[in-house]
Chain A
């Protein structure tokens, strides 16, 4: 219940590095704005502001919704270790 309430409260963090974001929101999904990309291909960035976070991928989108229209672009990233396994899929 507390988590649900937190996830629905809009906020904008100060500019943070990826390491700071991972420390503050471990094993969570985050939505980022004002991403200061280092180049046009790599994930690495200098700083970004967090506008949403949560355990489920959809959580940060919901939290960021009130301020989404202020930003053309938004990043969506997982701060934990990726454990997904890609197994054979057939799309029909």
Chain B
């Protein structure tokens, strides 16, 4: 069981994440979103670790209350959050229409690999692997 702390005073559950690209990595703040199927990362993060849209697997269209935006899917070398890492992990790359102050979302594409409990009052997430393809960081 890995314990991750977050600031319970914030409006969103934001945790530290790490994303690896071509020999370099970024350490980010991402919001936990159990209502999102995809894990979403902003384009400027992906560019910094050496990827371009040419590395994309498929083009996506994201519809939200604010409008429609084009993005793409991409497999990053490694993604880490909640104390666990997944290799060759697929993320959706697009600029969030929710505001410019977070770098993305951790959705069910990552969370489904774990059993987790969220303690909102104290600001803590306890997670443990639910599948063999997630391993301790």
Contact = CB atoms under 8 A, between A and B. Distances in A.
A86 B105 contact: yes
A91 B5 contact: no
A52 to B, nearest CB: 10
A2 interface: no
A54 to B, nearest CB: 11
28 contacts: A32-B27, A41-B82, A57-B42, A58-B44, A61-B48, A73-B25, A74-B25, A74-B27, A74-B48, A76-B27, A76-B45, A78-B29, A81-B10, A82-B10, A82-B14, A82-B29, A82-B101, A84-B31, A85-B98, A85-B99, A86-B35, A87-B98, A88-B64, A89-B62, A89-B64, A91-B37, A92-B61, A92-B63
Given A72-B23, A86-B12, A89-B62, 15 more contacts: A41-B16, A41-B82, A42-B4, A42-B16, A72-B24, A73-B24, A74-B24, A74-B26, A75-B27, A86-B31, A86-B36, A87-B66, A88-B64, A92-B61, A92-B62
